[in-house]
Each structure stands twice: as C-alpha cells, then as structure tokens.
Amino acid sequence: MKIAVLPGDGIGPEIVAQAVRVLERLRADGLAIEMEHAPIGGAGYDASGDPLPDATLALAQAADAVLLGAVGGPQYDTLDRPLRPERGLLRIRKALNLFANLRPALLYPELAGASTLKPEVVSGLDIMIVRELTGDIYFGQPRGIHVNEQGEREGFNTMRYSESEIRRIGHVAFQIAQKRNKKLCSVDKANVLECTEFWKEIMIDVAKAYPDVELSHMYVDNAAMQLVRAPKQFDVIVTGNIFGDILSDEASMLTGSIGMLPSASLDQANKGLYEPCHGSAPDIAGRNIANPLATILSVAMMLRYTFGLEDAALRVEHAVKRVLAQGYRTADIAEAGMEKVSTSGMGDAVLAAM
C-alpha cells in the first residue's frame, strides 16, 4: 500500500503527523504500508516555485492513495493565481481524475453540544454526501465574461454533464448506499434545468442495477431546507458538483465541529485522495492545538475505500469514538470547563485506544 503524504501548509504538518503515527501503528501490526512525503500548496511553492511540483504529482500518481493536510495561508494571498496554494489542490484533484467526493456528516453523541441545531434534530445523525467533483458548471464550456450582442457586459457559465459522467458517480453512490441503509436520494433541479433533468433520468436508469436500494429524488432548494429541518431523513445523497459543494458544507456543519470531518475523493479504480474538510487554519498553526481527528478519520476512509480494509478502518474509527468517550478534547471541541489536550496529546490518546 503506497501512500503519498502531502502535509501542505499551516496546521497541515501538525495534523498529518498524528495521522502518520496511526498508519505507522497499523504497519507495526502487519499492514504493508509504505509512505513518502512531498510538499504541496504553499510548501510546494516555497520549495520549487510551484504549488504542485512535478515530483509531488509524480509521487501521487505512483501511489495508491494520497493523504493530504491542507493548503493556503495569508503569506501566499498576493501571489498570481496560478501560483496560489489552492491551485495546487485543484490541479492534483483534476490530474488524478478524482470524480467522486465522499463527505460523511456524522454526529458523535459526545459532541452533540457542538451543533447549532437542537439535540433531538441532530442526535444520531449519519449522512454521506456523494458529490461529483470533476464536471458540472465548474468546468463546463463556454464560460467567461464578455460584451453581449446588446453591448452589455455579462458573465456566463455552462452546466453540463455527459451520460458517462452521471453513470459513474451514480454507481459509486448506489454501491455506498448498498453497504449502508440502502436509501439513496438524488438531488437535482429537474424542474428548471435540463442538465439536471438528464441527471435524474440517468440515475433512474442506473438504479435498475441496484434493486435493493430505494432511490428518491429531491429538488436542491428543498434539500437545503430539509437538511436543517429534519436531516435524519437522509442516508446517502448523490448530487452534482455545485449542489454538492453547497449541500456538503451545509450537512457537515450540522455536526458543528469542523475539526472532526474527513473526506475522500476517488477515481474510477478507487485510488483516492483523503483530507480533512477544514483548511490550514493559519490562526492556530504551529501551536500544537489543532484537532487531528478529521485527518485521522480520513485515514480510516482510506483504509475502507482504497484498500478495502473494513476492519482496520473500524479500528481507527472506534479508537476515535473511544477517546471522545474518555473525555479527550482539543480546544475546538471542548465545552466550557473541560480540560484540553494538544494535537500530539490527542494523537497519543488515539494510539493508546488503538
């Protein structure tokens, strides 16, 4: 199992170091794990003037999975756009053809107080959002800002999806639903947008291969509303790039704790890039106080989705549940009066629980 480790910027190196300890522990217990580090984002720019150095991309392409921290920081905000750290992340996602973005929104009972919603609305929440990541209005041509025939300036983008793009994300979502509660909700705006009317038609066709999964459809505006009204009605949601961008942020924030949320981005062969949902948190970088659990939980997703090691994935997830139950809290998830542990202290606790 070849893993490219790309810590990135800000808190990236600190949180990734704890996730690497988890991988080292699994290796000590018999998994054939190989890790190699490389710079990305601002660290890539600092090392070689490029937020995605050639050697980093080559390492990621040769690996089975990529573990990424986060990129970005105020010191890079004045760089030309192509040199900015975030561009390195977009480029690696595109280069690795990571079309399936999986973002679980899971509320740990111990952290129920962190949500802004009432406990009865979110307790037991366990949703998986499957977002298409390489198509849709974010990539569709034509696009731009120009002067139109009436002589007025206008901006325009194009929402488009090919049948094959919809089918492949559909299969990913149905297979995930099969392994969970066999409920899949496809989110569209088929009443207004032909592109998503087509999406819905193809999803209905893909569903024929998964008779055990119950497929439902919802308009995106209603889905946004239902996610805050009664989020537990959902199990797996599949949607396009732009709706998924918005709904996955909304869903993940139902849990209230950004330091807890992992993500996976997969290609056709389940090679993947795994990273926490949060950014590089420059405001707390270098102080050993960031929460490493989102990154550690990203390792669990890697074990599950790229390597098919469900037992190892559960071992990591159970260790995280255990440390929460034991009362270990980094500052971002500590309630008033609770004792706080450091980034490495949380790593120690997870290793002990493993």
Nearer to Mg ion, 253 or 320 (CB): 253
* Residues of span 324-343 touching ligand NAI by CB under 6 A: 332
Which one-letter amino acid corresponds to residue 43? A
Instruction: Identify which range of 47-55, 178-186, 238-246, 316-324 contacts Mg ion by CB under 5 A.
Output: 238-246
Shortest distance (Å) from residue 273 CB to ligand NAI: 10
- Cβ(275)–Cβ(313) below 8 Å: no
* Residues of span 265-284 touching ligand NAI by CB under 6 A: 275, 278-284
| 295-332 exposure pattern, b = at least 16 Cβ within 10 A, e = fewer | bbbbbbbbbbbbbebeebbebbbebbeebbeeebbbbb
Among ligand NAI, Mg ion, none, the one that 245 touches (CB under a kind-dependent 5 to 8 A) is Mg ion
Q: Is 280 annotated as a binding residue?
A: yes
Q: Which residue, chain included where needed, has tokens 């542990």?
A: 341
Q: Which of 4, 5, 71, 203 is in the footprint of ligand NAI by CB under 6 A? A: 71
Nearer to ligand NAI, 102 or 294 (CB): 294
Nearer to Mg ion, 249 or 267 (CB): 249
Q: Which of 259, 262, 272, 347 is in the footprint of ligand NAI by CB under 6 A? A: 259
Instruction: Identify which range of 86-94, 203-211, 237-245, 286-294 contacts Mg ion by CB under 5 A.
Output: 237-245
Nearer to ligand NAI, 85 or 240 (CB): 85
Shortest distance (Å) from residue 9 CB to ligand NAI: 8
Compute CA 115 distance to the chain's CA centroid, rounded to the nearest angstrom.
19
Residue 179 CB: number of other CB atoms within 10 A?
Answer: 11
Among ligand NAI, Mg ion, none, the one that 184 touches (CB under a kind-dependent 5 to 8 A) is none
Going by the DSSP 8-state scheme, the letter that residue 335 receives in this structure is: P
Going by the DSSP 8-state scheme, the letter that residue 334 receives in this structure is: P
- What's the token pair of residue 129? 């959002």
Binding pattern to ligand NAI, positions 76-105, x when CB under 6 A?
----------x--x----------------
3-state SS assignment for residue 219: strand
Q: Is 84 annotated as a binding residue?
A: yes
Closest CA relative to residue 305, chosen from 275, 276, 271, 277? 271
Shortest distance (Å) from residue 86 CB to ligand NAI: 5
Measured between alpha carbons, how far is 138 from 161 in angstroms, rounded to an integer? 11
Compute CA 277 distance to the chain's CA centroid, rounded to the nearest angstrom.
5
Measured between alpha carbons, how far is 61 from 1 in angstroms, rounded to an integer? 13
How many residues bind ligand NAI (CB under 6 A)? The answer is 22
Q: Is 273 annotated as a binding residue?
A: no
- Under the binding rule (CB under 5 A), the answer on residue 267 touching Mg ion is no
DSSP, residue by residue, 180-242: TTSEEEEEE-TTT-HHHHHHHHHHHHHGGG-TTSEEEEEEHHHHHHHHHH-GGG-SEEEE-HH
Nearer to ligand NAI, 196 or 280 (CB): 280
The residues assigned a catalytic role are: 138, 189, 221, 245, 249
Closest CA relative to residue 215, chosen from 242, 191, 245, 237? 237
- Under the binding rule (CB under 6 A), the answer on residue 290 touching ligand NAI is yes
Residue ranges of the annotated binding site for NAD(+) are 73-86, 279-291
Residue ranges of the annotated binding site are 73-86, 93, 103, 131, 221, 245, 249, 279-291
